[in-house]
Amino acid sequence: MKRWLFMALIPLLIYGLPFQRYETGKLLPILCVQAQRQEGKIRILSEAGKGEGDSWLSAVENLRQNASGEVFFDTAEQAVFSDPFLALEAANSGILRPGAEVFLLKGFRDPEKLYGYFSQHGSKIKIADLQHKGGAVFGKDGF
Q: What is the pLDDT of residues 44-100, one digit of tens each?
A: 999 999 999 999 999 999 999 999 889 999 999 999 999 999 999 999 999 999 999
Distance separating alpha carbons of residues 61 and 116, to the nearest angstrom: 26
Tell whether pTM > 0.75.
yes
Contact 85, 41 (CB under 8 A): no
pLDDT above 70 (res 117) = yes
Report the alpha-carbon distance of residue 61 to residue 65 in Å, rounded.
Answer: 6
Side chain identity at residue 109, one-letter code: R
- The type of residue at 45 is L
Rg of the chain, C-alpha, whole Å: 19
Are the beta carbons of 27 and 69 closer than 8 angstroms? yes
3-state secondary structure of 5: helix
pLDDT at residue 137 greater than cutoff 90: no
